[in-house]
Structure 1
Amino acid sequence: MASRAGTSTAVVSYVLNNGPRPVSETLRARVISAIDELNYRPDLRARALRRPRRWRQIGLLVPDLMLPLFGEFVGRIEVEARARDHLTMIGNTGYDPERELEFATAFAEVGIDGLVVIGAANPQQTAKLCVQERIPVVWMHSVRGEVATEIVGIDHVQAGELVARHLRDVHGCSEMVFVGGWTAADVEHGDRETVHQRFIGVATVAGDGVRAVRTDLTPGGAYAAVSHCLRDAADPPHAFVVGTFGQTAATIRAVIDAGYAIPGDIRVVGFDGSDNDYGVFRLTAAQQPVDAIAHRALAELLGDVVPDLGALEPTLRVGNTCGC
């Protein structure tokens, strides 16, 4: 490039870095012309390595920023990372394996110092990329398939047991319907692994007293499936257990539109979701310790001493949809 512009490499560097020494407009124009002719693009990672940085960067892959749980995770991780002088780059994967790998590749090209993956849909390829690029990676919430390291999150089977046990022991519910799908035939892009684990937990407690209404994990899918269930049932079930928070409102609407009262006729419980004490219904739900999960994930990623916060376990937030 210097020879194309008829100058020295030092002058080219002054133009690219806007200093530290001044360059005449005529010479600057020649350098810029050579840059355009050669289609030169600076190596941003190499440039970053040459200068001291206060801020480092982590990548965060999240399945759906519209869902409250994942929004809470993002907010907490951003706070935890900023406290450690790390900026957070966010990619919304939509549980799409190709999009997940695309974001991970782009983050690696930018030069992230670590990657957090929430709800991984393509862990094998993402993990392979991180090994190649020497990028530390931590997995949170759920993973489609297997990974070599521990997933930072709760036991979703335990969460299913928690809500089912409350319905059975406190409210005497012996007939429950679980709303959700967990196979590729049910849903292509969605948190089907977590839903399946929650169903296993409910079935462990309820036994033959639970049956599943399979959906595609969308609100519309839940509304149609629950409406069909109630339309064909001689007697309504004692309770609906909704596998994802995103389908809870649609399930409640379907129950009401079918002419039943909540919780008088049918009880509804679910998972996740933030506190809302000002709506007509306050959902009874198994909750995840978001702050503790985010804190542990960032500690593992950045090589801090992992805090002894005890087991990461779900807790039951009692509202009025169960009858309490």
Structure 2
Amino acid sequence: MTARRATLADVAQRAGTSTAVVSYVLNDGPRPVSDRLRAKVLRALDELDYRPDHAARALRRVRRWRHLGLLVPDVRLPLFGTLVGQIEIQARERDHLTLLGNTGYDPEREIEFAGAFADSGIDGLVVVGGANGRATAELCRQSRIPIVWVHNNRDHVESQVVGADHVDSGRLATAHLVEVHHRENIAFVGGFTAAEVEHGDRETVAQRYAGYVSVVGESAARRLPTDLTPAGAYRAVSRHLAAGPPLDALVVGTYGQAAATVRAVTDAGLRIPQDISLVGYDADPANTYTQLTLTSVQQPIATIARAALSRVLDTAARAADTPLPPIEIELAIGESCGCAVPDTGRS
């Protein structure tokens, strides 16, 4: 049998004072309380093991926090970790606390999180890298919860996706290798079919591959298919370097495969960038202490977060459903393509 929780009235009765005085002691104001009376109230609080009712306090608070649901594939990756940070900061500025779920691109996990967040009373849901678009959209429709898709959406629904142009990012990465470094034998690392990739960002990879093909042409395109895991990338690159046609450059379709690709090249006795130039995506710009910094196509995370929150929280933006403005990408130059000279004395 659970003991009844002590109330402010119980504390006031034990201390021989009013509930208003007890509240002044708990909140350190707004009116002063004498030291003698404060000591009596504190003693009563301890004797009754009083604990504030935070839910009731939140209901009385002038500024009430609302809640935003955020689903991401893997918060450990720089792109998604930075995006989570930006959304959390900007949501707080809008008086929203963020509930976070890691989906791993698993459709069942996505709908499980979405249902749990809906039950908790969220005011909106941001889905990054959606893997169960139709079911998640239907759940939010029934619950009357605004939803916005960010980065990509596997199970396409009739809604715009907030994010960069991944076809253009594939073109940008490849064009740099061709036009600046004059590479002629460029392969693309990554998989995008359902048979190759069960849980991974295969839609984004497919779009980046299309951008790569637009530069090298269909006849020259070479893809090293992977399951988008580091181990898969290492196997595919190692296998090709051992037996396939020679390469002088690689475009790595996801950041999660970049380190494994570098390792496969160096384990094959080749040098980056002297023998093989390499360009990837979404590297951590703060991580400059790796053995080799990655030349990487970068997305403007703060801009993406701002656009996503506007779509899900601003009534006017949802009602208008106007086309999203282009989100600019940029190529951050590192050492892996051959542009930057290795810095042995980083500050």
Q: TM-score range by the shorter chain?
A: 0.7 to 0.9
Q: In structure 2, what is the Cα distance between the partners aligned to 1:283 and 1:268?
A: 8
Maintained 8 Å contact 2:205/2:254: yes
The alpha carbon displacement at 1:288 in A equals 0.5
CA distance in 2, matches of 1:122, 1:90: 17
Matched residue, 1:254: 264
Whole-Å separation in 2 of the counterparts to 1:186 and 1:51: 52
Aligned match of 1:66: 76
Aligned match of 1:9: none
2:93 is aligned to 83
> What letter matches 1:127 in structure 2?
A
Distance 1:102 1:309, change over 3 A: closer
Equivalence for 1:10: none
Give the letter for the 2:211 counterpart: G
Question: Deviation at 1:51?
Answer: 7.9
1 CA distance for matches of 2:220 and 2:338?
19
Q: Match of 1:140? A: 150
Which of 296, 307, 314 is residue 329 of structure 2 equivalent to? 314
* Matching residue of 2:23: none
User: Which residue matches 1:217?
Assistant: 228
- CA separation of 1:314 and 1:224: change in aligned 2, threshold 3 A: same
CA distance in 2, matches of 1:259, 1:236: 13
Once the two structures are superposed, residues 101-124 of structure 1 have per-residue CA deviations (whole angstroms, 9 ceiling, x without a partner) of: 000000011111110000000010
Distance 1:107 1:221 in 2: 34
Shift of 1:125: 0.5
Given that 1:236 and 1:266 are in contact with CA atoms closer than 8 Å, whether structure 2 keeps it comes out as no
Picking from 155, 161, 167, the partner of 1:151 is 161
* Cα displacement string for residues 49-79 of structure 1 (whole angstroms, at most 9, x for unaligned residues): 8986610000000001111110011000000
User: How far off is 1:175 after superposition?
Assistant: 1.3
Per-residue deviation, 1:174:
1.7
For residues 148-170 of structure 1, the C-alpha deviation after alignment (integer angstroms, 9 at most, x for no partner) is 22100011000000011101111
Contact 2:185 2:246 in 1 (8 A): no
Question: Aligned pair in 2 of structure 1 residues 210, 113: CA closer, same or farther (>3 Å)?
Answer: same
Q: Which residue of 1 aligns with 2:45?
A: none
Aligned-partner SS, 2:110: helix
**Structure 1 segments unaligned to the other structure (5+ residues):** 1-14, 25-44
Instruction: Look up the match of 1:28.
Output: none
Pick aligned residue for 2:239 from 228, 231, 242: 228
1:296 to 301, 307, 311: 307
The one-letter amino acid paired with 2:312 is L
- 1:282 maps to which residue? 293
Distance apart, 1:86 and its partner CA: 0.5
User: 3-state SS of the aligned residue for 1:209?
Assistant: coil
Letter in 2 for 1:284: T
In structure 1, C-alpha distance between the alignment counterparts of 2:147 and 2:57, rounded to whole Å: 24
Contact 1:263 1:321 in 2 (8 A): yes
Cα distance in structure 1, aligned partners of 2:10 and 2:58: 22
- Distance between the aligned counterparts of 1:54 and 1:89, measured in 2? 16
> Which residue pairs with 2:279 in the alignment?
269
Instruction: For 1:209 and 1:312, locate their aligned partners in 2 and report how far apart those are by CA, in whole Å.
Output: 29
- Residues 293 and 334 in structure 2, CA contact (< 8 A), matched pair in contact too: yes
**Aligned partners of 1:126, 1:201: CA distance in 2, in Å?**
29
Equivalent residue of 2:74, what SS? Answer: coil
SS for the counterpart of 1:94 is coil
Q: Considering only CA atoms, is the larger Rg found in Structure 1 or Structure 2?
A: 2
Give the alignment's TM-score, normalised by structure 2: 0.78
The answer on whether the counterparts of 1:292 and 1:309 sit within 8 Å (CA) in structure 2 is no
Out of 104, 119, 123, the position equivalent to 1:113 is 123
Question: Shift of residue 20 of structure 1?
Answer: 6.8
Query: CA–CA distance in 1 between the matches of 2:315 and 2:267?
Result: 52
CA distance in 2, matches of 1:298, 1:102: 22
Percent identity reads 56
Cα offset for 1:21? 5.3
2:180 partner SS: helix
Q: Give the aligned residue type for 1:288.
A: Q
Q: Tell me the TM-score normalised to structure 1 length.
A: 0.83
The number of residue pairs the alignment matches comes to 288
Deviation at 1:282, TM superposition (A): 1.3
